[in-house]
Amino acid sequence: MLNKTLAGLVLGAGVAFACAQASALTIGFSQIGSESGWRTSETASIKAEAEKRGIDLKFSDAQQKQENQIKALRSFIAQGVDGILLAPVVETGWDQVLKEAKDAKIPVVLVDRGVAADPSLYLTKVASDFAEEGSLAASWLAAHTNGKCDIVELQGTVGSSAAIDRKKGFEAVVSNFPNMKIIRSQSGDFTRAGGKEVMESFLKAENGGKSICALYAHNDDMALGAIQAIKEAGLKPGKDITIISIDGVPDIFKAMADGETNATIELNPHLGGPSFDAINAAKEGKEVPKWIKANGPLYLPDTAAAEYAKRTAK
């Protein structure tokens, strides 16, 4: 009896080891950088998910430069990785390197942002619908201001799908309200420093901010920078100027609980699971949809303190 049990254990361990080996993928991950709180959460989440799955993740931080991402992808291809995750900093300029990955039969999953390339050149996109986020932000603002508001807009990184589509979705709704207008719009590059700097110029140009009804920021980090600028201009953010942004990072819930901002739309940073599942499915010859969508809800001050506590609990 004992021998049989032992044999069973050895066999079981062998099978488990073989399965682990079979699924021990090597994945290359080209990340944009660390420009925002959301980006660092996304990176941490994807690394943790890879570790949990026993995936050998080759991580490359592009420091916001597309040429570094293209270099990283070519290195992953040369290493013969099983799959590639790419968070494309901008929409254009990817066709050639995506073709090289396709020719090498390495599936590419776009995480978090999209590309303006033939969809046959990548396996899938795991990202939210940025246009929907923009429309949701504008619909909330229209209701909050009874459809009468002069708006300043802090755009994300120029040429990024997130900035392009968040702008498009917001404008599509605002165009239905004759008394709502975007009076100034400029990129703050998704950073706090960028948001503060551009908001300072908006305030100076708009009578110290007195003619600004609201700020729409494409991400929370720019909104948090703008809040600093609004306070330094002697105005009350969240009261004198209504603010809505996107990401749902912990600090925005703190600011909301303090009455300094009015709304945020959550962006899911946990994109590793669906991305790795898509690569596994492709390896098993299964069909994978071209877009795996992950949209988040809108949050308002009434739940901000609880949300902050939840996101910062140790």
| The token pair that represents 217 in the structure block | 């920021």
- Binding map of ligand GZL across residues 178-197, x = CB under 6 A, - = no contact: ------------x-------
Length of the chain measured in residues: 314
Q: Which is nearer to ligand GZL, 213 or 263 (CB)?
A: 263
Alpha helices in 54-191, H assignment, sequence order = 66-79, 95-103, 130-144, 161-174
Distance, CA of 115 to CA of 160 (rounded, Å): 9
Q: Does 292 bind ligand GZL (CB under 6 A)?
A: no
Strand, coil or helix: what is 193?
helix
Is 246 a binding residue for ligand GZL by CB under 6 A? The answer is yes
Among 39, 167, 192, 254, binds ligand GZL (CB under 6 A): 39
Give the binding range for ligand GZL (CB under 6 A) out of 33-41, 117-125, 172-180, 203-211.
Answer: 33-41
For residue 58, state whether it binds ligand GZL (rule: CB under 6 A). no
Binding residue (CB under 6 A) for ligand GZL from 77, 90, 154, 162: 162
Owner of token pair 């600011």: 255
What's the DSSP call for residue 113? S
Q: How far is CA 183 from CA 51, 206, 237, in A?
A: 47, 9, 18
Instruction: Please identify which residue in 29, 31, 38, 106 interacts with ligand GZL, judged by CB under 6 A.
Output: 38
Verify binding: residue 245, ligand GZL, rule CB under 6 A.
no
Question: Binding residue for ligand GZL (CB under 6 A) from 267, 279, 292, 304?
Answer: 267
Residue from 28, 29, 30, 36 touching ligand GZL (CB under 6 A): that is: 36
Distance between CA atoms of residues 253 and 258, nearest Å: 8
Give CA–CA dist 158/89, Å, rounded.
9
Residue ranges that bind ligand GZL, judged by CB under 6 A = 35-36, 38-39, 112-113, 162, 190, 219, 221, 246-247, 267
